[in-house]
């Protein structure tokens, strides 16, 4: 199945490597406080890491689709991790980054084009849809590992806050993407198991699912419940509200460098 892939199809894109390099350098700048503006370094680190996670999210969809029967994936360039190869680069990268800047929320994007008719078996379709948000779950676990492992001694506070904010983005993306709303991965997980009639009825809603979720989150009561759930998950992973709050404050460097008050015993 994978023998049809060429080396070029599998080669990691220089675009992705460049984004990963920005993540590494800016992360180093946050850790060492080398940058003249810690907030700007946090912004670059979190934004580039967020884009890396988006690329890995789409790669997970593509890779599972490839092994499930869609051998056209390689020719489309999805295995190169190049965000410019996505069917909707605006939805997959630009809008999620804008949502982070505007509201500090990891809103999922869309997507790689998978030729579903090549894939046989409902379970395979569900796994393909679940692979993306599961990548966000894994990313959240990695980001929070220093917190729940108690390995934060010696970690500079700005870097800790940046990790906390990045973890918040991953948790929100995972939760939102798993919602059973047409157009999101959560619906893709259950869609193969629905009747043909139901699928036909909800199909017209798919292009508007992301906008629907975004609109509902603007309702104060819904927003409050949603972030209470996110905060509860993060606390379970050792990340406090303090960490995510100051992470977002550093991220918004255009508002000026935040002055974190000293914690008194």
Catalytically active residues are 58
209-213's contacts with Cβ under 8 Å and 24+ in sequence apart are 209/181, 209/182, 209/183, 209/184, 210/91, 210/107, 210/108, 210/109, 210/110, 210/183, 210/184, 212/181, 213/107, 213/176, 213/179, 213/181, 213/184
Q: How far apart are alpha carbons 91 and 88 in whole angstroms?
A: 5
Angstrom CA distances, 176 to 85, 88, 105, 161, 232, stand at 24, 19, 10, 23, 15
Residue 101 half-sphere exposure, CB side, CA atoms within 13 Å? Answer: 15
Contact between 45 and 30 under an 8 Å Cβ cutoff? The reply is yes
Q: How far apart are alpha carbons 20 and 226 in whole angstroms?
A: 30
Q: How far apart are alpha carbons 144 and 235 in whole angstroms?
A: 10
């Amino acid at each position: 199945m994978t023998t049809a892939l060429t080396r070029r199809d599998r080669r990691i894109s220089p675009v992705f490597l460049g984004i990963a390099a920005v993540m590494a350098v800016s992360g180093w700048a946050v850790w060492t406080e080398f940058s003249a503006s810690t907030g700007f370094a946090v912004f670059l680190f979190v934004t580039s890491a967020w884009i890396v996670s988006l690329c890995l999210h789409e790669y997970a969809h593509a890779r599972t689709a490839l092994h499930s029967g869609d051998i056209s994936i390689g020719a489309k360039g999805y295995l190169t991790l190049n965000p410019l190869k996505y069917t909707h680069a605006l939805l997959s990268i630009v809008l999620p980054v804008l949502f982070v800047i505007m509201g500090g929320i990891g809103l999922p994007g869309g997507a790689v084009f998978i030729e579903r008719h090549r894939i046989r078996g409902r379970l395979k379709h569900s796994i393909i849809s679940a692979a993306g948000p599961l990548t966000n779950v894994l990313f959240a676990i990695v980001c929070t590992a220093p917190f729940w492992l108690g390995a934060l001694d010696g970690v500079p506070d700005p870097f800790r806050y940046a990790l906390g904010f990045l973890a918040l983005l991953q948790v929100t993306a995972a939760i939102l993407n798993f919602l059973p709303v047409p157009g999101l991965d959560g619906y893709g997980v259950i869609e193969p198991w629905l009747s043909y009639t139901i699928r036909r009825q909800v199909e017209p809603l798919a292009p508007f699912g992301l906008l629907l979720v975004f609109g509902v989150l603007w309702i104060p009561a819904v927003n409050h419940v949603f972030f209470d759930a996110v905060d509860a998950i993060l606390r379970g992973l050792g990340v406090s509200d303090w960490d995510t709050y100051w992470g977002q404050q550093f991220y918004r460097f255009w508002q000026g460098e935040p002055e974190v008050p000293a914690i008194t015993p």
